Amino acid sequence: MTSKERFDLTVNHRQPDRLVVDFGSTSVTGIHVLSIENLRKYYGLENKPVRVTDPYQMLGDVDGELIEMMGVDVIAARGRKNGFGFYNHEPLMEYLTPWGQTVLVPEGFRTTNDENGDVLMYPEGDTSVKPSGRMPRSSFFFDAIIRQKPIVEEELNPKDNLEEYGLVSDSDLEYWAVTTKKARATGKAVVAGLGGTALGDIAHIPGIKLKNPKGIRDITEWYMSILMRPDYIKAIFDRQSEIALENFSRLHKVIGDNVDAVYICGTDFGTQDSTFCAPEQFDELWLPYYRRINDWVHANTNWKTFKHSCGAVEPFMSRFIAAGFDIINPVQIAAKGMDPVHLKKTYGKDLVFWGGGIDTQKTLPYATPEKVREEVLRLCEIFAKDGGFVFNTVHNIQANVPVENIVAMVDAIKEFNGG
C-alpha cells in the first residue's frame, strides 16, 4: 500500500495497513532545525546544514533521507513565500544561528541584532523598515513585534486588516501547478497551505509580512475586539472568505487532485484549562465563514480540510464538525477535557485526529525513552482504531528535545506498525 493509498483510507475513517505518519508537512506538525540536525547525526546521515522551511518558528526540512528513516507518509507543497513575506526557496545561503548551528536560509532572511543581542527579522527581508520579528538571544525562534498604530475608533476600516489578502497572481498559479505536480509524483499524500483562510489567527494578526501594517494589529486589542467590535470582525471575515474562495477556484483549476488536504486555519480557541471565547461567540463570528469555505471545498474538490487549534477545545469539537472540517490538529491531550478515549469515542467517526501521538510539553522533552515508548503505544492504540488518525506530536518538536526520545517515539511507531 502506498502512502497516498494509506492516507486516503485513513482520512475516510477506514483502517489502513499501518499508521499514517506526518513529520514536517505543515507549520504545526514540524521539527525545529536543531532537532533535525541531532536526528541526522543519530542516524549517521551526511553532516550538512539543515534547510529552514519556516523562519518564524525555525522549523527545518524533513528531507528524503529522514522521510525514509522516520516512515513519513505526508509531505508539504509549500508556498512561494514564508510568513515574513520573502521568497522561501533557492538560492539559499548559510546562516549561523545564535545557538551556534549553521543552517540554510533564503536570501531574504536578513537580520540585525539589537543592543541586547536579540535577532531582528524584517518584512519582505527589507532592513530599511522597522523589524517585524524578534528572536531573544536565549530563544530558538522568533516572536512577532507588535507595531500597532494608535486606534481612532471612528476611522477604523476593515480594509486595513485585509491588506495582505488579494487575488492570486498568474505567477503564483504557475508556481502552484508545478509544485503540487512535483509533490504528487513522490507517491506521498500532499498537504498545502494555500493561504487566505486564516480567520483571526494570531500568527497573522500582527502582519509580520507587512512593512506598514494598519488596522487592528495588537493581539490583545484583537481579542478585545471580539467583544467590542464584532461587526468589524465579521466584515473582515466576510470579505476575506470571498477572496479566499475566488482564489481556491482559480487554484483548483491548476492543482486539481494533486493536493489531498488543505490547511484552512490555525486560530486557537483554547488555553490549557479553558476556551478563549464562549461557544456562542464561535457560532456567531467564525462558524458561518468556516462553513462557507469548507462547503465550497467539499462541493468542488476532493480536498480534505485541516483545522488547527491548540488547547482545551473539547467544547468546540461538535462545532468544528458543524463547520465542515475533516481534520483537527494538534489534539492537545494534556489540556482540560481532552481525554483521548473520550475524543475518539465521541468525535472519531466525524473528525480525523492529526496529532495527539505524544505530549510535547512534558513527555517528549522530559521523560525517559521507555516512558516515551509507552505513551506512543498507548495513544496509538486509542486513536488508530478504524482509521481517522494521522500520527504526529502535539504541535511541533522543539529544539533541545533529547534525540534519544525522538528516536524512541519513531521506534514505537514502527513497533505499533508491526515493524
DSSP secondary structure letters along 251-271: HHHHHGGG-SEEEEE----B-
What are the pLDDT digits (tens) for 5-61?
999 999 999 999 999 999 999 999 999 999 999 999 999 999 999 999 999 999 999
- Note the pTM of the prediction, 2 decimals: 0.97
pLDDT at 110: 98
Note if the bond before 91 is cis, omega within 30 degrees.
Answer: yes
pLDDT at 362: 97
Read off the DSSP letter of residue 217. Answer: -
Q: 222: how many CB neighbours lie within 10 A of its CB?
A: 19
Decide if pLDDT at 189 tops 90. Answer: yes
For residue 289, what is the enclosing H or E element? helix 287-300
CA distance 269 to 201: 10
Decide if pLDDT at 419 tops 90. Answer: no
C-alpha cell at 141: 525562534
pLDDT at 242: 98
Per cent of the chain over pLDDT 70 is 100
C-alpha torsion 225→230→235→240, nearest 10: 60
Q: How far is CA 341 from the centre of its chain?
A: 25
DSSP secondary structure letters along 293-339: HHHHHHHH-S-EEEEE--SS-GGGHHHHHHTT-SEEE---TTSTT--
**What is the domain class of 3-89+148-416 according to CATH?**
alpha beta
**Which residues have CB under 8 Å from 118's CB, separation 6+?**
134, 135, 136, 137
- Residues 405-413: what's their mean pLDDT? 98
- Residues 93-105: what's their mean pLDDT? 98
pLDDT at 300: 98
Decide if pLDDT at 118 tops 80. Answer: yes
Mean pLDDT of the chain, nearest integer: 97
What are the pLDDT digits (tens) for 320-350?
999 999 999 999 999 999 999 999 999 999 9
- Residues 379-398: what's their mean pLDDT? 97
